[in-house]
Amino acid sequence: MEIKHTSVPAVVTPELDDALAELRKQGLRVRLHSGPNNTWHIADGGLYSGYVASGDELVELRRAHKLNIRGIKSLGWGRGKK
């Protein structure tokens, strides 16, 4: 797994690791956004586009069989495009 180095590491559980791998298999670009907040940046296109979601949210989307860019977009609350 590729994790950007930060001063505080993210907690990557096996379940989260599986969710991140699934997103990458879908052709999405995944990188650590904030280690202290355990948030991940998921991009589906250009260099400056993408969405931010917490590790817990990604795991919940996977459990609900909605782990894709559409499910991530649906999380809302001010995440929007970067």
Q: Which amino acid is at 29?
A: R
Kindly write down the DSSP assignment for every residue of the chain, as one continuous string: ------SS-----HHHHHHHHHHHHTT-EEEEEETTTTEEEEESSSTT--EEEEHHHHHHHHHTT--SHHHHHTT-TT----
Is 81 within the bounds of a domain?
no
Crossing angle of helices 55-63 and 14-25, in 10° steps, is 70
Encode pLDDT of 25-78 as tens digits.
999 999 999 999 999 999 987 777 889 999 999 999 999 999 999 999 999 744
Encode pLDDT of 5-37 as tens digits.
555 567 789 999 999 999 999 999 999 999 999
Is 7 within the bounds of a domain?
no
In this predicted structure, what is the pLDDT of residue 44? 86
Range of the domain at 36: 17-73
Is 26 within the bounds of a domain?
yes
pTM for this predicted structure: 0.80
Is 2 within the bounds of a domain?
no
Q: How many domains does the chain have?
A: 1
Check whether 81 has a pLDDT greater than 50. no
Is 82 within the bounds of a domain?
no
Is 23 within the bounds of a domain?
yes
